[in-house]
Amino acid sequence: MNPDYPHPHDRQLADLLDRSGYQLRPRLPVYPQYDGWLSGWLQEAIAVWREKITVDRSLPSGLYG
């Protein structure tokens, strides 16, 4: 999303997408093919979050309402 333009609240966007047959899902701002460009400790943190949002489907507290 572009911060220079207004955008809907995440719950509102999730509801809109759901009505159209899509699901709003969290993602990291780093594509996996670029993980190697990150420092070691950041690669570890990204790996933990990637596991949470892709396998467990667990979300950070407060996301989507």
Q: What is the pTM of this model?
A: 0.54
Domain with 28 in it: 10-56
Give the model's pLDDT for residue 54: 77
Split into its structural domains, the chain has a count of: 1
Question: Is 64 inside any structural domain?
Answer: no
Question: Is 36 inside any structural domain?
Answer: yes
Question: Is 23 inside any structural domain?
Answer: yes
**Residue-by-residue pLDDT tens, the chain, 65 positions:** 677 888 778 888 889 999 999 988 888 888 999 999 999 999 999 999 988 887 655 454 445 43
DSSP string over 1-64: --TTS----HHHHHHHHHHTT-------SS-GGGGGGS-HHHHHHHHHHHHIIIII----TTTT
Give the model's pLDDT for residue 65: 39
Question: Is 2 inside any structural domain?
Answer: no
Question: Is 65 inside any structural domain?
Answer: no
Give the model's pLDDT for residue 24: 82
